[in-house]
Amino acid sequence: MSNNSSLWSDALRRLLKNRAAVGGAIILFVLILFAILAPWIAPYPYAYQNLSLGASPPSAEHLLGTDVLGRDLFSRILYGARISLLVGFVATTVALVIGVSWGLVAGYYGGKVDSIMMRIVDVLYGIPFIIFIILLMVVFGRNLWLLFIAIGAVEWLTMARIVRGQVLSLKNQEFVLAAQAMGVSSLTMFKRHLLPNILGPIAVYATLTIPQVMLLESFLSFLGLGIQPPMSSWGTLIKDGVESMEEYSWLLIYPGITFTITLFALNFFGDGLRDALDPKTSDN
């Protein structure tokens, strides 16, 4: 165990030296805080309309201006952060659970089980999932949780491959053989011996999955097939902004900036984490 903890503290030291990654982490932390505290920080409720005001540019009362219905843009971005980040974390968790279990089983049992399971992954890779998500949204209605699960169910494939590869390289090592000889059950083997040793790659890939998932959600919301009004995610805010950008450009620019900065932060943090945990690949 002592060897393991020094691996993590080494990684942490390397991570802290990477300025882009630390910056990304700080931005993410602030964003998550804002999203959680939105009901208390937001100056107005997200659906509060002031029709007589209409669209107004940024001012003292409305930090980032208001939209055509007189809704405060700053509040809507804050509430949008809740949805967008929630999608990111929930869908990534779904992908994580499926992908890690799939990869663990395939890699550990090997042989026929492995080749059948990985062949299924190969096949699924070739399918245009974005089209299937749109199809699901059309068939079953635009349900928030269905959207989360559908997106997560799409993103697990790479995770399964990564985990399987890691398990394959671990399973012939002495500590695994020793545990097997002691008659440890498969479940204990996964939990106690295999998972702790592959947490690094899992953490890295999970961090890099979150921005993918958020992009997918906002893509669907942009097309009008994701989050439905009066709720707002950053995707729907950008969609609304595009519709009125000729006169009210701030409605596009501020949500756009927020979303882009978040994606930057997530990507920088994910890249930094990868470099910290696996210094070998930091060249690419």
Candidate residues 1, 51, 60, 123; the one interacting with another protein per rule CB under 8 A: 123
Long-range CB contacts (< 8 A, 24+ apart) of 219-223?
Answer: 219/130, 220/133, 220/134, 220/137, 220/147, 223/134
Structure tokens given for 132? 């299937």
Stretch that binds another protein, among 65-73, 81-89, 132-140, 145-153 (CB under 8 A): 132-140
DSSP state of 279: G
Candidate residues 113, 116, 177, 223; the one interacting with another protein per rule CB under 8 A: 223
Q: How many residues interact with another protein (rule CB under 8 A)? A: 40
Q: How far is the CB of 99 from another protein (least distance, A)?
A: 18
Dist. CA 232–CA 255, nearest whole Å: 11
Q: Contacts with another protein in 173-212 (CB under 8 A)?
A: 211
Cis peptide leading into 230, omega within 30 of 0?
yes
Structure tokens given for 49? 């309309």
DSSP state of 72: B
Structure tokens given for 183? 């008659």
Dist. CA 266–CA 25, nearest whole Å: 8
Q: How far is the CB of 178 from another protein (least distance, A)?
A: 36
Does the footprint of another protein cover residue 137 (CB under 8 A)?
yes
Which residues are paired to 72 by β-bridges? 66
Does the footprint of another protein cover residue 219 (CB under 8 A)?
yes
Looking at beta carbons only, is 174 or 246 nearer to another protein? 246
98 with 150: CB under 8 angstroms? Answer: no
Does the footprint of another protein cover residue 116 (CB under 8 A)?
no
Looking at beta carbons only, is 78 or 220 nearer to another protein? 220
Does the footprint of another protein cover residue 138 (CB under 8 A)?
yes
Dist. CA 256–CA 77, nearest whole Å: 10
Does the footprint of another protein cover residue 256 (CB under 8 A)?
yes
- What phi and psi values does residue 252 have, to the nearest 5 degrees? -90, -40
Q: How far is the CB of 112 from another protein (least distance, A)?
A: 17
Tell me the per-residue interface mask from 49 to 78 with another protein, x by CB under 8 A, - otherwise.
Answer: ------------------------------
77 with 254: CB under 8 angstroms? Answer: yes
Amino acid at 5: S
Looking at beta carbons only, is 188 or 249 nearer to another protein? 249
Does the footprint of another protein cover residue 263 (CB under 8 A)?
yes
User: Binding residues for another protein, per CB under 8 A?
Assistant: 122-123, 125-128, 130-132, 134-139, 211, 215, 218-219, 222-225, 235, 238-239, 241-242, 245-246, 249, 252, 256, 259-260, 263-264, 267, 283-284
